Amino acid sequence: MVKAAILGATGYAGAELVRLLSYHPDAAVVYPASHSYAGKKFSDIYPGMKGVADMTLREDDIAAAAEEADVIFLALPAGLASSLVNEEILGKAAVIDIGADYRLHDRGIYEKWYRTGHHSPQLLGEAVYGLPEIHRADIRGRRLIANPGCYTTCSILTLYPLLKNRLVDTRGIIIDAKSGTSGAGRGEKLASLFCEVNESIKPYGVASHRHTPEIEQELSEAAGESITLQFTPHLVPMNRGILATCYARLRDGVSAADVEEAYSMYSGEPFIRIISTPPETRFVKGTNTVDISWRLDERTGNIIAMGAIDNLVKGAAGQAVQNMNIVFGLDETEGLMGGAGSPF
């Protein structure tokens, strides 16, 4: 039984992690923590979990967590994780950071996009980017996992086979992404109010969203050259779900068969479905599944590759559990659902 700590357990991602681990056959939350709600029961904050997760929330104390847990999940604001993790902690527990602090290999890029200092740059080399479908072999047995962002998970997995196989131009890639509102978090912000979100759609973070360099890092690695791309997120009036509509120019002579072959790299993946119709976020809601579909347009010479995930599951907590399963040698799918109900 893997003993888990969660720091930041009452944010949406942290709470989803509590929920997923409550069904996990080989893991248990032994140290749920929340700075805002320490001392209260988790189910007082999330009444839907009453009877299932009634444990008392503790302070966000990573040292105490490391004494009791085998793995520490961090669901904290940018900059905080990097000030908490150190070699001593990693000597006692594996750390899976759901936040952004260890995702970018280059400290300068991190500090520029996140506008904050990095407090443990010496650990960047130890961290592995926890996207199992790309870096599974590196994740096994590692101590510090940088769990990818929600937009990035969806975007990278959707485009990776095209770049890895040099099927598209590396210039001019555009990712137009759409997210449910849980991606904005549980903070009491005007822009997150029901009446400000409902019955509307808007772009935000245009040309400036922090997930951009993370996507570029991974796709550059796939392509073997430096990629600069356009990423535009949008806010959609729904609770969950991310859809990434990705545009790239096919290289000369690339055929549909080539594309099909490229995506066959996912054929053994338990959480990726290559489908023939455009993905809909509802069909992955509540699951760790990624639905990917693509279409060639002979008129324009473009490929439109589309991916959908649940931002709180494959985009956060579910992928964190997947990473935990890998790190601890469990079956990678344990505790992670495969099928989405409908309507849900």
Q: Does the annotation count 195 as an active-site position?
A: no
- DSSP secondary-structure letter at 288? S
- Choose, by CB under 8 A, the member of 1, 40, 52, 117 that binds a second copy: 52
Nearer to a second copy, 129 or 271 (CB): 271
256 in contact with a second copy (CB under 8 A)? no
Closest CA to 336 of 326, 316, 321, 315: 321
Nearer to a second copy, 13 or 62 (CB): 13
Residues 91 to 150 in contact with a second copy, rule: CB under 8 A: none
Residues 176 to 215 in contact with a second copy, rule: CB under 8 A: 176, 178, 180-182, 186, 188-190, 192-204, 206-207
287 in contact with a second copy (CB under 8 A)? yes
d(CA 317, CA 11): 11
24 in contact with a second copy (CB under 8 A)? no
Nearer to a second copy, 122 or 200 (CB): 200
d(CA 257, CA 270): 23
Q: Buried b / exposed e across 276-292, counting CB within 10 Å, b at 16+?
A: eeebbbbbbbbbbbbbb
Residues 164 to 183 in contact with a second copy, rule: CB under 8 A: 172, 174, 176, 178, 180-182
Closest separation between CB of residue 27 and a second copy, Å? Answer: 15
67 in contact with a second copy (CB under 8 A)? no
- Choose, by CB under 8 A, the member of 32, 79, 149, 241 that binds a second copy: 241
Which pair of tokens denotes residue 241?
């779900």
Phi, psi angles (nearest 5°) of residue 66: -65, -25
For 84, the enclosing helix (H) or strand (E) is: helix 81-84
Which pair of tokens denotes residue 163?
């770049």
* Residues acting as catalytic residues: 150
